[in-house]
Amino acid sequence: AESGYRLWMRYDQINDEALRTQYLKSLSGIRIDTISPTLKAASDELGKGLSGLLGRTLGLSSTASIEAGSVVAGTPASSSLIRGLKLQSLAGLGDEGYMLSSMVHNGKQITVIAANTDVGVLYGSFHLLRLVQTQQPVVKLSIVEKPLLKHRVLNHWDNLDRTVERGYAGFSLWNWHLLPGYLQQRYIDYARANASIGINGTVLTNVNANSLILTEEFLPKVAAIANVLRPYGIKVYLTARFSSPIEIGKLKTADPLDESVKKWWKDKADEIYRHIPDFGGFLVKANSEGQPGPQNYGRSHAEGANLLADALAPHNGIVMWRAFVYSHEVDEDRFKQAYNEFKPLDGQFRKNVLVQVKNGPIDFQPREPFSPLFGAMPKTPLMMEFQITQEYLGQATHLVYQAPLYKEVLDADTYVKGKGSTVARVVDGSLDKHALSGIAGVANIGDDLNWTGHLFGQSNWYAFGRLAWNHQLSSENIADEWTGMTFSNVPEFKVSLRGMMMKSRENLVNYMTPLGLHHIMGWDHHYGPGPWIKDKPRMDWTSFYYHKADSVAIGFDRTASGSNALSQYSPQVRKFYGDLKTCPPEYLLWFHRLPWSHRMKTGESLWEALSQRYQQGAESMDPLIAGWNKLAPYVDQERFDQVRMLLAIQKKEAWWWHDACLAYFQSRSGLPFPQGVTPPK
């Protein structure tokens, strides 16, 4: 059945026979010396992929014997043929890059996939497969690729009981009960999928961590997963609960400056590396939402991070220390708190620490301005944290293609070193010349047959990986690649689906949180609307805290007359958002508190504009559904129906948002609905 299990690695035979014949001329056999598990993985993938796509089992042998049409893959170390080619471009490709090159060797036309390392060869193999999967030419190839970011990591928020925090695609992939003995095929397919898009690390456990993962009960299980992922170039990381020395180490304290605590973490790191020699390191959520941390002992985040960094350093491990901190006990706009806390620590972190910053200042909203920390800590490598799982974006029920969201943040200009100081350049290290760089995506993957619950959740996993590799790719191109590999390469199909995907995120913003509204979702589960939520133990967990709507006005004043969160940005950004003349409507209520009668540039009042956006959002579902129905001929029944049914739910819920938010905000504004806006039921 076509459940979607194969993701974008489908390798079904290309229908067009002429095209197949053409491909077979250039790709008639595979030549690779499988002297390592990684080269074996590349060979398996090329064999399976090309044979499937081209409808013929391709001969496989060593690079010693080539023919016209051979695909020759390897490194100078694995293959004397490749060594003999003395490829100039290899010099600049580092340890993950690769080249794909059509050339004539001993009078024979061949295709070379070459890299300095085995994993580079694997990445190059996937690239070649992608070209065929998306029906691109493979003659006259001259491609060189290397990733712009060093650590490209998934964050699984998976608990040891296999529930997944903010996971909507079933239970955790990691079957701790059956590990280490039982290794599911799914682990291998997970590794293949990630390698195909260049993801090179995975944090197996929830940021709200359980210290048991660091015990002898679990470490052999972690090692078993690491062994499966290793050939695919993927390192395993774990979350470290800061109080572990107390909970599993029987110490009285977890104070980072305490000698016994330091020794405990050093010993623990040594122990982990005995199980997993290439263990990646720790991801830490500390002093955030009730998690323990260095501040419990009056120490700073830097002192906490450095404790773990010192323990990992002898093994080349890294610490990804999260900046997602806020407290209701601090009388300060939540927007500002991470910056206030972390900026003063710039320069105090060890060399093997990255500070991992969520894309926006609050929490993975449908739209957020970029976090002001990007650009504010030049001495510290900042790791981007995106959320792939759609906690606030309709979870696994709504079709939302998130590449435009990711791009919007990456392309945003911080102006900290003048025009062109984009968030992407902060994150990739080029702006401040950092060798360490990274990006994390909170995974949307579970044990559902199709991995991500919504089939289009796969596109977000895919897009995250592609942008992690190269943030300069366009959302459109990534959508085209994904639809071509996942469904069909028929141009009309790709163009229509691209259009639908490209609009999907803005549609959602319109029916959920238009004009810069944020965090008005239902309490705690964050699924449906909840702008009325007011009476909660913490103000920052109410919706009112964020929209502040009353009979006169709506929005959060973050200019100098309000919380002045804008002061955390560089002057250009501050002015751009702070000035009503330039602040785009998309960010209006993020930064301004305005009367309902405020005139928008379009001439309508704020109340009218808000109502119209909700209307547009809800109405956007009909064309989306009609668009999908038209694509039925190109999609197998099972996957077509999955999406069709979810779109029907999404439509109902878009109207639910429309009705609930308009009814609520009208109860504040007391104004009539403008023409064309459907009154809430």
Report whether 255 contacts 304 (CB < 8 A).
no
Report in angstroms how near the CB of residue 264 gets to ligand GCU at its nearest.
25
Among 190, 242, 264, 324, binds ligand GCU (CB under 6 A): 324
In the bound state with ligand GCU, the residue whose beta carbon lies nearer, of 485 and 521, is 521
Pair 347, 302: CB distance under 8 Å = no
Number of other residues whose CB lies within 10 A of the CB of residue 450 = 22
x-or-dash pattern for ligand GCU, window 390-419, by CB under 6 A? -x----------------------------
Least distance CB 290 / ligand GCU (angstroms): 10
Give yes or no: 385 in active site: no
Q: For residues 387 and 442, is the Cβ–Cβ distance under 8 A?
A: yes
Taking the least distance from each CB to ligand GCU, the nearer of 324 and 665 is: 324
Q: Which is nearer to ligand GCU, 208 or 340 (CB)?
A: 208
Q: Which is nearer to ligand GCU, 306 or 356 (CB)?
A: 356
581: which residues sit within 8 A by CB, 6+ positions away? Answer: none
Q: Is 301 one of the binding residues for ligand GCU (CB under 6 A)?
A: no
Binding mask 443-472 for ligand GCU (x = CB under 6 A): ------------------------------
User: Collapsing DSSP states into helix, strand and coil, what is residue 510?
Assistant: helix
Residue 608 bears catalytic tag: no
Tokens of 673: 């609905």
Contact 461, 443 (CB under 8 A): yes
d(CA 38, CA 48): 15
Binding flag, residue 540, ligand GCU (CB under 6 A): no
Core vs surface per residue 246-256: b (16+ CB within 10 A) or e: bbbbebeebbb
| Identified catalytic residue from 33, 333, 391, 608 | 391
Catalytic position from the list 95, 217, 270, 289: 289
Size of the site for ligand GCU (CB under 6 A): 9
Which residues make beta-bridge pairs with 283? 239, 320
For residues 284 and 501, which CB has a smaller minimum distance to ligand GCU in the complex? 284
- For the residues of 292-326, what is the DSSP string, one character each? --GGGGT--HHHHHHHHHHHHGGGT-EEEEE----
Nearer of residues 285 and 505 to ligand GCU, judged by Cβ: 285
Q: In terms of CB distance, is 135 or 208 closer to ligand GCU? A: 208
Catalytic residue status for 216:
no
Give ∠ CA 8-9-12 in degrees, rounded to 5.
Answer: 110
Site string for ligand GCU, 238-277 (x = CB under 6 A): ----------------------------------------
Query: Residue 59 half-sphere exposure, CB side, CA atoms within 13 Å?
Result: 12
Nearest Cα residue to 142 out of 98, 107, 108: 98
Contacts (CB under 6 A) with ligand GCU, residues 360-379: 363
- Which of 532, 540, 661, 515 minimizes the C-alpha distance to 592? 515
Q: Do the Cβ atoms of 174 and 127 come closer than 8 Å?
A: no
The amino acid occupying position 543 is: S
419: left (phi over 0), alpha (psi -120 to 50) or beta: beta
SS3 571: helix
> At closest approach, how far in Å is the CB of 513 from ligand GCU?
16
| Block residue for tokens 């044979």 | 51
Q: Considering the complex, state which of residue 123 and residue 324 has its C-beta at the smaller distance from ligand GCU.
A: 324
Active-site residue identified among 332, 363, 447, 586: 363
From candidates 127, 130, 150, 285, binder to ligand GCU by CB under 6 A: 285
Residue 341 or 608 with smaller CB distance to ligand GCU: 341
Q: Phi first, then psi: what are they for 235, rounded to 5°?
A: -90, 150
What is d(CA 330, CA 259) in angstroms, rounded to the nearest whole number?
A: 31
Looking only at the bridges linking them, the beta strands covering 235-239 and 382-387 are: unpaired
Shortest distance, CB of residue 98 to ligand GCU, whole angstroms?
A: 34
Hey, which residues between 194 and 233 contact ligand GCU (CB under 6 A)? 207-208
Q: Is 594 in the site for ligand GCU (CB under 6 A)?
A: no
Q: Is 235 in the site for ligand GCU (CB under 6 A)?
A: no
Q: What is the per-residue binding string for ligand GCU in 141-170, x denoting contact by CB under 6 A?
A: ------------------------xx----
Please state the closest distance from residue 210 (CB atom) to ligand GCU, in A: 13
481's enclosing H/E stretch is helix 475-486
Minimum CB distance to ligand GCU, residue 524 (Å)? 8
Helix/strand/coil percentages in the chain, nearest 5: 40, 10, 45
239 contact partners, CB below 8 Å, separation of at least 6: 203, 205, 206, 207, 209, 213, 282, 283, 284, 285
Q: Which is nearer to ligand GCU, 119 or 393 (CB)?
A: 393
Length, in residues, of the chain: 681
Instruction: Give SS3 for 282.
Output: strand
Residue 450 or 543: which CB sits closer to ligand GCU? 543
Q: How far apart are CA 85 and CA 113, in angstroms?
A: 12
Tokens encoding 384: 């981007």
Look at residues 108, 93, 221 and name the one whose alpha carbon lies nearest to residue 160.
221
Q: Are strands 108-114 and 70-74 parallel, antiparallel or unpaired?
A: parallel
* Nearest partner of 498 among 374, 631, 672, judged by Cα: 631
Task: Give yes or no for residue 310 binding ligand GCU (CB under 6 A).
Answer: no
Q: Exposed, middle or buried, 346 (CB in 10 Å: 0-12/13-18/19+)? A: middle
Considering the complex, state which of residue 365 and residue 615 has its C-beta at the smaller distance from ligand GCU: 365
For the CA atoms of 421, 424, 427, 432, the dihedral, rounded to the nearest 10 degrees, stands at -30
Q: Active-site residues: which are they?
A: 289, 363, 391
Residues lying near ligand GCU in the complex (CB under 6 A)? 165-166, 207-208, 285, 289, 324, 363, 391
